Structures are given as C-alpha cells and as structure tokens.
Amino acid sequence: MSIRSDADYARQTESEWQLLRTEASELSYSWAPTYRSLIETAYAEPVLRNLYPFTSHWALRFSATARPELTPTGPCLTANSDGTYGVGTGILAPDLGLFASPREAVALAVYQLRSGPDPLTD
C-alpha cells in the first residue's frame, strides 16, 4: 500500500477541478449554463476548492480523499433544469435547501462543512 502525500492530493484535486470546469464549459444542454455556474461558484470557494470534487448524475459532491478511494464529505450540490440550485444530504434530494443562485447554495454547503467535523481529518 502506498501513502500519498499532501502535495499529491493537492495536484489530483486541482486536476479534477480543471477537468470538471472544462467539461462544464463544453456542455451544450439547455441547463448547461446553470451547471457551469455551479461548478465555477464552487471552485471559487476555497473551502470547497480544497476538497476533491466528483460528480454523479450531474450532482457535485466532495471527498476528503482522491480517487480511487473517495471519502464523500459534506453536502451534495445540484444544478437543476429549472435554473435553481439544490443542497442536500444525498444525491438529487435538496433536503437542505433550494436556491435561486449558485452563491446561496455554495454558501450553505460551506456552512454545513464548517459546522460538522473537519472533513480533512479522520
């Protein structure tokens, strides 16, 4: 078993963020601008940018570890086809809130992370 350094984690995390940003900028679906806004707003927030991002069903999730062994942490963010943004404890269930702007959704996600246990420690 190999041990990854903090520098490896940081490189993998930044690389994954750049891949998500590139993919989001190239989407042509009708809801693509909403999704792009979510990805860019989450990336602009240092607390989230330091976590490894991953997506499932177009929902943005975060991990305290990089692939291949993801450790999901914090809430799930969604960009919805009606132009709203959801924050939830599970995939596609905005049980924590539904917002008109990505900034509001990201702010709640950061609050949830800060009010819980430190996502970067065991």
State residue 78's pLDDT score: 95
Decide: pTM greater than 0.95. no
Tokens 């992370």 locate to 113
Q: Which has the closest alpha carbon to 109: 122, 96, 118?
A: 96
Q: What region, left, alpha or beta, does residue 97 occupy, with left being phi > 0 and alpha being psi -120 to 50 degrees?
A: left
How many other C-beta atoms are found inside a 10 Å radius of the C-beta of residue 2? 4
Residue 2: DSSP 8-state = P
CB 50 within 8 A of CB 115: no
Hey, is 88 helix, strand or coil? Answer: strand
* Average confidence (pLDDT) over 97-121: 83
Residue ranges of the domains in the chain?
6-115
Higher pLDDT, 35 or 116: 35
State residue 58's pLDDT score: 78
